């Protein structure tokens, strides 16, 4: 088995799938990349048993098709030191020894038997849907930050996908904050829903943002497969029933605050430095058309206060929010102005763009309040 490939092409392709590899694996061979050379090209694969990701590249030259697994860390670290040059891989099928030749250098690595590498699951009885890469990439970008990390509630650690003949909806929540991202320019033939885990979505988000193509998404009861360009990713779905997210979104919110997003973002950044570091509480006091942000940390005698002009409809009110959650949400809204809709100091607040530049996109963020002390 022998092939010649550009060092930059190989490094870029390997980095795009390397995030699947766990830092500690139960099977040592999962620390490797699987290389499969066929007449169609060179297939590179990683797996953690839950997620399998592959990318196919075209070598400059190849002979003697075959397969081998190569330890990921030493290979990546070596490739990162090369300029963009052609490098030659020669693999001995008898002992899976690998020799890499680059300019005046020769490097030897011990590979492993590819037959020991776990095979990707075969998906049967799948339902397909075509989704533009920009829609998927944006949906994952807008929702992933709101997923949870509680091992006792695995359904909250993923993104809930709901397809209908009218739209597609992506939802993420950790029970403190929630994001609902809806697109009306993508639709399914029939209604269906499932929960995708965050790790493979993080991998996809980085690649999809650079692509402009259609993604073929196929799924069944247990797995989902994404296929586009030269990339394929298969992941196991999260098993369980997603909570009824619509029921936690308050319908009546008579108090509406409209404000410049960047002004609020920067103000909260400053005020949060003086907040209690366990609650991260920032107090919003709205009187007339003026918003006063304040925070204090009694243990260290720290406090801060800022006034901002805003547009407000409703009764004067005071409400507390977790500054970390507010900053995450404000960073994930693109429009210049945002609207915060509230009903009472003990009810969730809703963040939405004040005006929509993308008519086929609808984004709603919800954040639970932090109870104010006297």
Successive 10-residue mean pLDDT values, the chain, 374 residues: 97 96 92 96 97 97 96 97 96 96 94 96 92 94 95 94 96 96 92 96 89 92 95 96 93 95 97 94 96 92 95 95 97 95 94 84 95 71
> What's the rounded Cα separation, in Å, for the pair 335 and 323?
20
Which residues, 6+ apart, have CB-to-CB distance to 42 below 8 Å? 3, 5, 35, 36, 56, 57, 58, 59, 62
Give SS3 for 330. Answer: helix
Give SS3 for 251. Answer: coil
Amino acid 239: pLDDT: 95
Amino acid 298: pLDDT: 86
Amino acid 86: pLDDT: 96
CB 351 within 8 A of CB 329: yes
> What's the rounded Cα separation, in Å, for the pair 180 and 184?
13
CB 245 within 8 A of CB 333: no
Per DSSP, 98 falls in state E
CATH numeric code, 127-247:
3.10.150.10
Amino acid 236: pLDDT: 97
> What's the rounded Cα separation, in Å, for the pair 165 and 189?
5
Buried b (16+ CB within 10 A) or exposed e, 98-119: bebebeeeeeebebbebeebee
User: Is the domain 2-116 a CATH 3.10.150.10 member?
Assistant: yes
Selection from 163, 150, 364 nearest residue 240 by Cα: 150
Amino acid 178: pLDDT: 97
CB 326 within 8 A of CB 356: no
Amino acid 221: pLDDT: 93
Q: Roughly how many angstroms between the first and final C-alpha of the chain, as a whole number? A: 73
CATH numeric code, 249-367:
3.10.150.10
In the chain, residues under CATH classification 3.10.150.10 are 2-116, 127-247, 249-367
Amino acid 177: pLDDT: 96
Q: What is the pTM of this model?
A: 0.91
């Amino acid at each position: 088995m022998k092939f010649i490939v550009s060092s930059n092409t190989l490094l870029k392709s390997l980095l795009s799938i390397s995030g699947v590899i766990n830092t500690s694996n139960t099977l040592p061979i999962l620390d490797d990349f699987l290389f499969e050379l066929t007449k169609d090209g060179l297939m590179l694969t990683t797996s953690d048993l839950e997620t399998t990701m592959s990318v196919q590249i075209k070598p400059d030259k190849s002979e003697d098709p075959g397969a081998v697994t190569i330890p990921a860390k030493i290979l990546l670290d070596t490739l990162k030191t090369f300029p963009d040059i052609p490098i030659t891989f020669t693999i001995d099928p008898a002992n899976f020894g690998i020799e890499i030749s680059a300019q005046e250098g020769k490097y030897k690595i011990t590979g492993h038997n590819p037959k020991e590498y776990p095979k990707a699951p075969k998906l049967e009885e799948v339902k397909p849907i075509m989704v533009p890469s920009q829609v998927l990439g944006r949906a994952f970008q807008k929702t992933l930050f709101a997923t949870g990390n509680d091992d006792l509630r695995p359904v909250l650690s993923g993104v809930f996908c709901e397809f209908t003949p009218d739209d597609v909806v992506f939802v993420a929540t950790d029970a403190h904050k929630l994001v609902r991202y809806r697109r009306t320019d993508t639709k399914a033939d029939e209604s269906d829903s499932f929960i995708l885990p965050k790790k493979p979505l993080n991998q996809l988000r980085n690649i999809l943002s650079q692509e402009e193509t259609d993604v073929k998404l196929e799924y069944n009861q247990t797995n989902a497969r994404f296929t586009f360009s030269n990339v394929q990713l298969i992941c196991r779905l999260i098993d369980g029933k997603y909570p009824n997210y619509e029921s936690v979104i308050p319908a009546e919110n008579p108090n509406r605050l409209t404000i410049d997003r960047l002004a609020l973002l920067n103000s909260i950044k400053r005020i949060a430095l003086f907040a209690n570091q366990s609650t991260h509480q920032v107090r919003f006091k709205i009187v007339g058309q003026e918003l006063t942000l304040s925070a204090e940390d009694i243990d260290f005698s720290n406090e801060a206060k800022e006034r901002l002009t805003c547009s407000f409809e409703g009764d004067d009110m005071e409400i507390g929010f977790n500054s970390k959650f507010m900053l995450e949400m404000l960073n994930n809204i693109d429009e210049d102005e945002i609207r915060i809709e509230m009903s009472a100091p003990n009810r969730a607040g809703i963040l939405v763009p004040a005006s929509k530049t993308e008519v086929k996109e609808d984004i709603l963020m919800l954040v639970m309040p932090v109870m104010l002390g006297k």
